[in-house]
Amino acid sequence: MTSGDVQKSPRFVYLQVAPLVLVLFFFFAIPVALVILVSFFHYQMLVGMVPQFTSKNYVDLLSSPTTWALYLSTVKFTVIVLIITFVLGFWIAYFLVFHVRNLLTAIGLFLVCTVPFWTSNIIRMISWRPVLGKEGLINSGLIKVGIVSHPLDWLLFSDFSVVVAYVHLFTLFMIVPIFNSMARIDKSLLEAATDAGATRWGVVWNVVLPLSKTGIALGALFVVTLTMGDFFVVTVISGGLSGSATSGIFNDLQFLNYPRAAANAVILLVVVLLVAAAIFRLVDVRKELVR
């Protein structure tokens, strides 16, 4: 068929993909390459970047206990948030796919979960202030009921509030991919497992969980990279008390120390990419997506 052949002509395919490639080249590949390049530059007070090769930035950073403390704090947050968002995301997706019987209801409830994704993150974070603050809803409620006599001050501007904000912002990124994976599971498989004598829990553990692997991996990829790369949640909602890997970059930038900020950024990038690579080794995401 001639028209089909015309469509398959490789030149046309490259034309179709060219705009994407151009944007990725100029606004992803080149910037990241330049960050790597600049991270090996000298920094001089008042002058700024001096294009002279040095590995001083990396040596400084990697030998500084502050860097390690910041990364430890980031990893701690990431692990806690990953566990909470996974448990929440898995069971919410499970509820929507296997317990809600009407498809339209399921889609409606799914949308309820996703709408906040399309609203401003900063506003969603600020909105915890009147809830968690010293005179906030939770504290005044607790005092009224008589559970505590003084407001709890660890609710806001603490590690606790940072975790709350992350879970609030990122659980969605778990729900959506897991929901997608679960929606593709043939329901007769579950019935077969039950008929063969599996308990309800056994079905979840041996059938649903393995078949949702791709969704879980994609969700974990999002949650890990978003939490590790975040810098404004920790700044706004921890009150400057908790640090993260990005706080170092932020400080360097305020002193216009671009080489050090770049070196910091490269270290962060390497850590994030290692995690991503580990996840991609577990599942072939593209094959699953195009399927």
What minimum distance in Å lies between the beta carbon of 60 and other proteins? 18
Q: In the complex, what is the shortest distance from the CB of residue 166 to other proteins, in angstroms, rounded to a whole number?
A: 13
Q: What minimum distance in Å lies between the beta carbon of 123 and other proteins?
A: 4
Sign of CA dihedral 86, 89, 95, 98: negative
Nearer to other proteins, 33 or 148 (CB): 33
Radius of gyration of the chain (CA): 24
Q: Least distance to other proteins from the beta carbon of 45, Å? A: 19
Using alpha carbons, list the distances in angstroms from residue 118 to 96, 168, 209. 20, 13, 28
Nearer to other proteins, 211 or 269 (CB): 269
How many CB atoms are closer than 10 A to CB 285?
16
> Which residue has 């700024």 as its token pair?
48
Q: Which tokens belong to 160?
A: 């606790």
For residues 241 and 157, is the Cβ–Cβ distance under 8 A?
yes
Nearer to other proteins (CB atom), residue 10 or residue 146: 10
Q: Which is nearer to other proteins, 96 or 162 (CB)?
A: 96
Structure tokens at 287: 């094959």
CB of 65 vs other proteins, minimal distance in Å: 22
Q: Which is nearer to other proteins, 212 or 246 (CB)?
A: 246
Which helix H or strand E contains 38, and what residues bound it? helix 30-38
Please name the residue ranges forming H helices in 118-158.
121-126, 129-132, 137-145
